[in-house]
Each structure stands twice: as structure tokens, then as C-alpha cells.
Amino acid sequence: MRYFFLLFMLGSLSGFAQQNDGITLKGNKLILTEVPPIWPGCEAGDVNAKNSCFGENLKVHLRETFTYPKSFIPNKIKEQMLVTFNIDVTGKAVIKNVVGGTIALQDEAIRTIAQIPLCVPAKMAGKPREMKFTVPFAF
């Protein structure tokens, strides 16, 4: 009887899977997945839904917050700019690098990124971690 109970317990554990903050246990395998930052209001759904919601909200934020400097003349010169930033362990956007564009456009891009609302930070194995993003701007 004792052996039957032991075999039953071992058989039950082999099919057990648990998902919690990027930690998955399947049988004797431990899988760590990076969970992306979560934009405010995007808490529902699976990781893919949260990631998609983050991207959509970021696009809307950039479109609604970015204002062209007074010195900018549309269609005069085609400019491209890349802004690299992190969502840090506290959920705040931190500018890391800006390449291209005029100083006025760079300043406006920095101001726009700095206004990203406080997010839930990315996680790896349940612990907060920084996640890098690069956003292209084309003028």
C-alpha cells in the first residue's frame, strides 16, 4: 500500500506544471522566462497580450505626446533618429542614447520618453529587471 501511494504521488508530480512570474516547472525542468514590463491598464491577459498592449500604448503615447519644435520645418529635410531607453527595476523610463536628428528634435524625444507612465518592471524569475527598448523616429 505504501509503495502504491508513493508511485501515485510521483506520477502526479510528473504532470504538474506551474506558472508564476516567468517561472515554469514542468516535470523535472525549471524554465525561466522573461516577462516584459506592463503598461498601466495592461495587467489582464497572458504575456503576449501584455506585451502587445505595452507596444500599442507606447505608440499612442509617442503620437499624442511628441510635439514638433517651432524650429522644425516639415518636409524640408528627411531626418531619422533612434532613441534607446530602459524601463528600469522601478518601472521608470530612463534614456540611454539618442542618435540622429537635430538637438531640438532630440530634446523633444527625450521629453516624450521621460513622460512614459510608471510601469510594472520586467521580471526574470520573479525578480524585477531592466529591459531595453529602441524607438525609431522618422521626420
Predicted confidence band of residue 21 (pLDDT cuts 50, 70, 90) = low
The residue written with cell numbers 507606447 in the block is: 58
The structural domain count of the chain equals 2
For the chain, the C-alpha Rg in angstroms (whole number) is: 22
Measured distance CA(125)–CA(33) in Å, rounded: 7
Question: Residues 25, 68: one domain?
Answer: no
Measured distance CA(68)–CA(109) in Å, rounded: 9
Question: Residues 68, 129: one domain?
Answer: yes
Per the structure, the complete domain to which residue 60 belongs is given by: 34-138
Q: What is the pLDDT of residues 52-103, one digit of tens each?
A: 999 999 999 999 999 988 887 776 667 889 999 999 999 999 999 999 988 9
CATH label of the domain that carries residue 122:
3.30.2420
Measured distance CA(28)–CA(71) in Å, rounded: 62
User: Is pLDDT at 3 greater than 80 in this prediction?
Assistant: no
CB of 69 within 8 A of CB of 100?
Answer: no
